[in-house]
Amino acid sequence: MEAITVLQTNPINSYLEQELDKRFNLIRLWNFPADQKEDLFKEEENKRDIRAVVTNPVVPTDREFIDSLPGVEIVSSFSVGLDKIDLGYCKEKGIRVTNTPDVLTDDVADIAIGLILATLRRICESDRYVKAGLWKKGDFKLTTKFSGKKVGIIGLGRIGTAIAKRAEAFNCPISYYSRSQKPESKYKYFPSVVELASDCQILIVACPLTEETRHIINREVLDALGPKGFLINIGRGPHIDEPELVSALVEGRIAGAGLDVFENEPHVPEELFGLDNVVLLPHVGSGTVETRNAMADLVIGNLEAHFNKKPLLTPVV
């Protein structure tokens, strides 16, 4: 393959970076100071030579960014989420877009179940209890059972379905909300998130982030979930109106929350830090060595397929 210049927007994964370096002329955008980044995009040679962008949901691939690189033919995202990429504008400009679905489904579904168990059974708090030497002074308080709880899932795609299958193993009745009812699904469908929240004890957010799903978890939904209900989010931070969630937790209007994602990552509302009924993770749903390597392989495979004029492995646009 000819020497093709690829721009990586930010540090993502060391294995990915190494493999890109082997195959392409890799430009690491984060190594350029702010003033030099402007020079990079101003130079006609650079603008023309950069034919691919590798990115993830941290850095927006918006209209301005796309226009700054007129030679780009493909954007390969190290993520299943596409909310930071202007897909419509990429399509208009004839730029291909790929992501990394399927390979991270199991890990994200596993972390959802882990968050449920950690939140309901107070696993993190129990760990601190033992390490602080408090067990010698008395037994830990009773917690809440997971098995048999009614589970509601927002979004019954690959990840939502994988979560549902795992929850079934805990004898949990499953219901869901999505844009449209899925005739092939055996789970109970609700036409609104409020109705779903009213009927379940554990509400899980597992849908893509779009304008329609931004703040899909609002005060009305939290109140419908109620003081015995738990919220789990492994989707995207902006799915939740965070100030409303903080209020609901502080005031006891819901029982607890397990969160892997936040609206302004890595910034997390500090009001959550002192709450024992909340489990906070640093967006690690797909964070295993095996899955991140598989995601990297998909990114590279899509780039190689594009430049070898073969069908893309996971095309979006």
- Between the CA of residue 235 and those of 112, 129, 176, 217, 284, what are the distances in Å? 10, 30, 15, 12, 11
Of these residues, 51, 96, 122, 236, which one is catalytic? 236
Interatomic CA distance for residues 37 and 30, integer angstroms: 9
Interatomic CA distance for residues 67 and 190, integer angstroms: 42
Per the listing, tokens 């007129």 go with 70
Q: Are 26 and 53 in contact (CB under 8 A)?
A: no
Structure tokens at 70: 């007129």
Q: Is 121 a catalytic residue?
A: no
Q: Is 283 a catalytic residue?
A: yes
Interatomic CA distance for residues 258 and 224, integer angstroms: 18
Nearest to 248 by CA among 270, 217, 279, 273: 217
Residue 152 has what DSSP assignment? E
Interatomic CA distance for residues 5 and 46, integer angstroms: 9
Of these residues, 43, 220, 265, 290, which one is catalytic? 265
The length of the chain, given as a count of residues = 317
Q: What residues contact residue 131 under an 8 Å CB cut-off, 6+ apart?
A: none
Q: Is 215 a catalytic residue?
A: no
Distance of CA 43 to the CA centre of its chain: 35
Interatomic CA distance for residues 298 and 22, integer angstroms: 15
Of these residues, 121, 214, 215, 283, which one is catalytic? 283
Residues annotated catalytic, as ranges:
236, 265, 283
